[in-house]
Amino acid sequence: MKKNKLSLTDEQIDRVIEMGWEDRTPFDAILSQFGLKEQDVIKLMRRELKPSSFKMWRARVQGRGTKHSKSRSKDVDRFRCSRQRSISNNKISKK
């Protein structure tokens, strides 16, 4: 994780956090784009989010089928909900 932390910019960290919160974005997509495994994403979220936000995120993500490609339904073929607004250059509040 330390190696990846050094190579991620603030914008990339914000994007990983954003993707972590998105229900339809699997951890495999984060791995392919940023090289962060699920455990690395959890560590990053723990470090970057407020404790209460991290607990809320973990409760939301645990057991969610859409966050894990192997347990996704075959009819889910996109990363984002069609009704979700696009967020660009959004600074996510930290601690």
Residue 73 DSSP one-character state: -
Please report, for the chain, the start and end positions of each structural domain, with discontinuous segments joined by +. 7-57
> Is residue 32 pLDDT above 60, yes or no?
yes
pLDDT in tens, 44-58: 999 999 999 999 999
Classify the C-alpha dihedral 66-68-74-80 as positive or negative: positive
pLDDT of 93: 43
Rounded distance between C-alpha atoms, residue 94 and residue 78, angstroms: 28
Q: Provide long-range contacts, Cβ within 8 A and 24+ apart, for 67-72.
A: 67/23, 67/25, 67/26, 67/27, 68/26, 68/27, 68/28, 69/26, 69/27, 69/28, 72/26
In terms of pTM, does the model score above 0.85? no
Triad 33, 82, 77: Cα angle to 5°: 55
